[in-house]
Structure 1
Amino acid sequence: MAFATALGRVNRQLERVLNGVLLFLLASFIVLIVYQIASRNLGFMPRLYWTEEMSRFAFQWMIMLGTAIGVLHADHFVLEAFPRGSWPDRITRVIRDIACLIVGLIFVFLGWGFALSGFNRIASASQLPMVVTYSTFFVSGVLIVLFSLQRLLSTMSQGLDAMERELDTPSEIDAPGDAPPTQTIATPEKRS
């Protein structure tokens, strides 16, 4: 499966870029919020109304890009209703990835029209075209589709367990060696 390998390489690069973008957005969000608080409480600082819009835009992008990364590593959309490793559990884990792919496709198709409508609107304080924020659904949808496809193609080529070992974020529940030691309760000895 050369396509699955190539997609995996592309997605690794995308994830690195997204991590950098998310760090930048988080730092921007914090700086803008701190400035808003300081300018409200310190009279000598000018109030910049565009900081509220920009912090909101940064927050929306963080949510949608973080959601896409969450899909790649199965940090979102996890249903564990059956014993781990049973056939119903394995089926629901594959259905989860198919459902994420469908949601991603919905975001792509409906998000495209939503993004285009942003070209006709301008943010009131920052004067940015609203396409800056309206395109979050489309971009997130494209990323969710790519990441879901990688999970599904890896499942088909390597098997579900190998794909999850490679892509899923480790969980304390799944790590058998990290279990806390069991305590032995001493019982009184019986005297004859």
Structure 2
Amino acid sequence: MKSFEFYDRFLMKAVEILTTVLMFVLVGLVFFQVLNRFILHIPAAWTEEMARYNFVWLSLFGSVIALKSGRHLSVDLVVQGIKSQKAQDWVKVMVALLVLVFSLILTWSGYHFTASNWTTHCEFGAFPLALIYAAVPVTGFLLLLVSLEQLARSVRDIVR
């Protein structure tokens, strides 16, 4: 699996670091909002909007990390109920293929949605909403890479 070395070493590490940074930014934004609203009595409405947008990117990047680490939502009971290891491997191939198809649809439709909203701006007009919507095709592409890796591993397990 040396072909996935760059992906594993650099790309996934970058996603993990970016997710950590987004988490700290989210905590900072919410803290700033609470401080302004309840202590200083000067609500900063922009922080709520920025926290929402940050949360979108954070949760979608979190889904990539969850899929990569095998912590995503799955029905282990079905796979564990299958006695044959070969059959379990085939189920893993089918799951990887389903995730691959979902990722392709997510990337494709997310790209078109993002491109069609490039002229729409956020509530405060600071930047185009396409920067927020871009989280969908970016996540779709990353999920695509993860599912390709998992598919390759599953096929390798069957061939062995």
TM score, norm. by length of structure 1 = 0.73
Q: Which has the higher helix share?
A: 2
> What do the CA deviations read for 1:61-94 (whole angstroms, capped 9, x no partner)?
0111111122222211422214365344333222
Q: 2:74 aligns with which of 78, 84, 107?
A: 78
Spell out the pairing of 1:103-122 with structure 2 (5 A cutoff).
103-122=102-121
Q: Which has the larger radius of gyration?
A: 1
Q: Does 1:32 align with 2:29?
A: yes
Paired position in structure 2 for 1:54:
50
Paired position in structure 2 for 1:166:
none
Spell out the pairing of 1:168-179 with structure 2 (5 A cutoff).
none
User: In 2, are the aligned partners of 1:72 and 1:147 still within 8 Å (CA)?
Assistant: yes
> What do the CA deviations read for 1:116-139 (whole angstroms, capped 9, x no partner)?
123111001262210111111100
CA RMSD of aligned residues (A): 2.0
TM score, norm. by length of structure 2 = 0.87
The CA deviation at 1:11 is 3.3
User: In 1, are the aligned partners of 2:64 and 2:139 still within 8 Å (CA)?
Assistant: yes
Q: Which amino acid aligns with 1:89?
A: Q
Q: Which amino acid aligns with 1:75?
A: R
Q: Does 1:9 align with 2:34?
A: no
Paired position in structure 2 for 1:97:
96
Q: Which amino acid aligns with 2:81?
A: P
Paired position in structure 2 for 1:156:
155
User: In 2, are the aligned partners of 1:11 and 1:146 still within 8 Å (CA)?
Assistant: no
User: In 1, are the aligned partners of 2:89 and 2:154 still within 8 Å (CA)?
Assistant: no
